[in-house]
Amino acid sequence: MDPDWLQPDNLAAARRAQEAMAASVETEDRLGPVRRLGGADVSTTRFDPERRVWAAIATLDAATLLPLAEAGEAGIARFPYVPGFLGFREVPALVAAWSRLPEKPDLVMVDGHGIAHPRRLGVATHLGLVLDLPTIGVAKSLLVGEVPDLPDIAGAEAPILWRGAVIGVALRLRPRANPVYVSTGHRISLATALAWVKRTATGHRLPAPTRAAHAAAGRLRRGEG
């Protein structure tokens, strides 16, 4: 694997790496039976000059949504936060957390975009490519694209349009809460991704896997658990 996929020296190299990776992204289903679901998220401290990051991956039983295991990694990001380049900041720590999981999830939902990204390389796609794993992007706000206003009911959805193409779906999982933005990460179709997000909705704004990962990353950062 090209080292620039994880640690580019600068923004120009990072952009080249994304363009190279984009050729390998798979937007059709290529996944086996999903018995374990994963959620991935990274917590940080605002304006931290040390660039500390706390990455967590939570594993849930796909049938019951009950927690199975968690793994975390506390590290230093080699990349600053730059919109459009989140993967270079978060993926290395997530890979470290992943390696620590005894039983790997069959599908992982990542906090952030998949191909709903200027170069189709959001953090969810990035992680999927590096680990050769089916991933779904579940973001809380748009990076690119536009969606019409959604009715204020659970289940309301609308395509995310960008440059004349559907790059994802906006989906409201809870009334009076902002929608989540779902897109293909890697090795999964938008339809299948959407079905999994709906299936893991538990009455909150975020689906269960992402929610569990967010909680785990927060606990890790605060030194709990």
Partner DNA sequence: GCGACAG
Partner DNA sequence: ATCTTGTCGC
Give, to the nearest 10 degrees, the angle between helix 11-22 and helix 86-99.
70
Which residues of the shown chain bind DNA in the complex (CB under 7 A)? 41-46, 81, 83-87, 111-113, 117, 121-124, 137, 139-143, 214, 217-218, 221
Q: Is the CB of 105 or the CB of 122 nearer to DNA?
A: 122
Q: Is the CB of 79 or the CB of 196 nearer to DNA?
A: 79
Q: Is the CB of 54 or the CB of 62 nearer to DNA?
A: 54
Q: Please, what is the minimum distance in Å from the beta carbon of residue 101 to DNA?
A: 20
Which tokens sit at 119? Answer: 């170069």
Q: Please, what is the minimum distance in Å from the beta carbon of residue 178 to DNA?
A: 10
The residues, ordered by sequence, that sit 6+ positions from 30 with a Cβ below 8 Å of its Cβ are: 134, 187, 188
Q: Please, what is the minimum distance in Å from the beta carbon of residue 92 to DNA?
A: 14
Helix (H, G, I), strand (E, B) or coil at 37: strand
Question: Burial of 66 by CB count in 10 Å (0-12 exposed, 13-18 middle, 19+ buried)?
Answer: exposed
Cα(213)–Cα(10) distance, rounded to whole angstroms? Answer: 29
The residues, ordered by sequence, that sit 6+ positions from 78 with a Cβ below 8 Å of its Cβ are: 7, 51, 88, 92
Q: Report whether 29 belongs to an annotated binding site.
A: no
Phi, psi dihedral angles at 76 (to 5 degrees): -115, 125
Q: Is the CB of 89 or the CB of 187 nearer to DNA?
A: 89
Q: Please, what is the minimum distance in Å from the beta carbon of residue 63 to DNA?
A: 26
Q: Is the CB of 41 or the CB of 70 nearer to DNA?
A: 41
Q: Is the CB of 140 or the CB of 198 nearer to DNA?
A: 140
Q: Please, what is the minimum distance in Å from the beta carbon of residue 45 to DNA?
A: 5
Q: Report whether 111 belongs to an annotated binding site.
A: yes
Q: Please, what is the minimum distance in Å from the beta carbon of residue 109 to DNA?
A: 12
Sheet with 135-139: strands ordered across = 67-76, 52-61, 36-44, 107-111, 135-139, 180-186, 165-171, 157-162
Cα(109)–Cα(177) distance, rounded to whole angstroms? Answer: 19
Cα(40)–Cα(18) distance, rounded to whole angstroms? Answer: 20
- Known binding-site residues for Mg(2+) equal 41, 111
Task: List residues forming the annotated binding site.
Answer: 41, 111
